[in-house]
Amino acid sequence: MKRLSPLHLCALAVSAIVSAPSFAADTPDYSASELANKIAQETIIVDGHIDVPYRVKNAWVDVTKATEDGDFDYPRAVKGGLNAPFMSIYVPASLDNSPESTQLAHLLIDSVEAIVARAPDKFAIAKSTDDVKKHFEAGLISLPMGMENGSPLQGDLDNLRDFYERGIRYITLAHSQSNHISDSSYDLRRQWKGLSPFGKKLVTEMNNIGIMLDISHVSDDAFYQVVDITKVPVIASHSSLRKFTPGFERNMNDDMIKALGENGGVIMINFGSSFVSKEAGQWRKGLTAARKALIAKEGEDSPKLENFEKSYREKVPYPYSTLDEVLDHIDHVVELIGIEHVGIGSDYDGVGDSLPIGLKDVASFPNLVQGLLDRGYSRKDIEKILSGNLLRVWEQVEQYAATHG
């Protein structure tokens, strides 16, 4: 059982005064029972993807204390029971093929280390599954790290080793554009028709060194090539299901989910509304079309562009998804390939104002637990979703590297 330190108990009290977004009276009323809160507090909760490092790069804020904005800070994490969020070392595709991509990745790792240095009684860097478990027992929040976009490797395996030493434990091979490793699901240019020659070599090297392969963002062809080459299970650190978002290649289709199950991997469900429901994706397309129409009419210098999304939302309200719809994604994975292959990759601090009703920030994990209880999931199964499945994959990757590295 997790032992709460006095600092944790104090943080629980502070978190109660953190304001939450308000919604219309007819929105679902999600509240967690004592049992749901107990499970959240007594279970390791791994979130596969939280964009704190890039958030604090853009506008520095001390997340070791309560913050007025964003989705993550220490008091809210403690309130929600979140104790092992993967910090995303996100490098924009605009920096691909430049030394700046490598430099930025190191600077973002520095920022995670700085969080720990400011509050070593609250946070600790986690480089192994054993670290996560030890920190949990000590009442510390683990900060493992994953690199979103393999661009910083620059085709150099020495960089891979450097980033491993600094704590990177998964790499999302590409982001919004095809890079020197892999094609991207967002990029119509399929220059490699999957993985590049270096990308295929990288899969083996990541297996050998002990870094998990993250297939979120890559093209379908790249996904299948990864699972064909890898000797260990892979993860999708923050992806949801194409069944509920037809035509959205960034999510995974049923055949891919089945292949992931055969590989032994885990898909970690993204909470962003456009990942969860087709209505949110259609709204985003409408926003883009309206913006283009304004530019065509008034030009790039139109003052109306400055707060265009805010104005558009006032006219066309954003169709937030709900906790229930997120649970539908989890249910479908379980139906397809079993309880052992689904986890949580919220994308908190990475999807802006698009989070579902009932899951607005990291304090919301008890709501997720309650939803799972309401759908008949046992505590043992809930523990697998919250962390057991991801830790199992991570341990398999560690064990393989120990004998092949």
Q: Which two tokens stand for residue 278?
A: 């087709």
The Cα 72–Cα 66 span in angstroms is 9
The Cα 355–Cα 115 span in angstroms is 25
Q: Could you tell me the CA-to-CA distances from 268 to 9, 80, 111, 398, 403 in Å, in that order? A: 29, 18, 25, 19, 27
Q: Which two tokens stand for residue 142?
A: 């683990």
In which order are the strands placed within the sheet that holds 168-172?
46-50, 84-90, 145-148, 168-172, 212-214, 235-236, 266-269, 342-344
Model confidence pLDDT, tens digit, residues 138-167? 999 999 999 999 999 999 999 999 999 999
The Cα 240–Cα 404 span in angstroms is 32
Q: Which candidate, 102, 20, 33, 111, places its Cα nearest to that of 69?
A: 20
Question: Would you say 56 and 400 are in contact if contact means Cβ atoms under 8 Å apart?
Answer: no
Question: Given this model, what pLDDT does residue 405 score?
Answer: 79
Question: Given this model, what pLDDT does residue 28 score?
Answer: 80
Question: Would you say 342 and 372 are in contact if contact means Cβ atoms under 8 Å apart?
Answer: no
Q: Which candidate, 208, 221, 214, places its Cα nearest to that of 239?
A: 214
Question: Given this model, what pLDDT does residue 14 score?
Answer: 35
What is the domain partition of the chain in residue ranges?
Answer: 43-65+72-275+322-404, 278-318
SS3 assignment, position 145 = strand
Those residues of the chain that have pLDDT short of 70 are: 1-27
Question: Would you say 144 and 167 are in contact if contact means Cβ atoms under 8 Å apart?
Answer: yes
The Cα 170–Cα 86 span in angstroms is 9
The Cα 93–Cα 353 span in angstroms is 22
Specify the CATH number for 43-65+72-275+322-404; select among 3.50.50.60, 3.40.190.10, 3.20.20.140, 3.30.1220.10. 3.20.20.140
Question: Would you say 198 and 181 are in contact if contact means Cβ atoms under 8 Å apart?
Answer: yes
Enter the pTM of the model: 0.92
**Alpha-helix runs per DSSP H in 299-388:** 308-315, 323-337, 365-374, 379-383
Sign of CA dihedral 128, 129, 130, 136: positive
Beta strand pairing call for 46-50 and 84-90: parallel
Q: Could you tell me the CA-to-CA distances from 165 to 159, 162, 190, 243, 355 in Å, in that order? A: 10, 5, 32, 38, 34
Q: What is the enclosing helix (H) or strand (E) of 90?
A: strand 84-90
State which amino acid sits at residue 303: P
Question: Given this model, what pLDDT does residue 25 score?
Answer: 39
Residues whose CB is less than 8 angstroms from the CB of residue 190 and which lie 6 or more positions away in sequence, other chains included: 178, 183, 219, 221
Determine whether 299 is exposed, middle or buried from the number of CB atoms within 10 Å of its CB (0-12, 13-18, 19+).
Answer: exposed
Q: Which two tokens stand for residue 222?
A: 């790249």
Question: Given this model, what pLDDT does residue 301 score?
Answer: 93
Question: Would you say 281 and 252 are in contact if contact means Cβ atoms under 8 Å apart?
Answer: no
- Angular region, 16: left φ>0, alpha ψ -120 to 50, beta rest: alpha
- Distance between first and last Cα of the chain: 34
Question: Given this model, what pLDDT does residue 334 score?
Answer: 98
Q: Which two tokens stand for residue 109?
A: 């790792």
Q: Which two tokens stand for residue 357?
A: 């009703």
> What letter does residue 5 receive in the DSSP assignment?
P
Q: Could you tell me the CA-to-CA distances from 282 to 275, 344, 353 in Å, in that order? A: 11, 24, 16
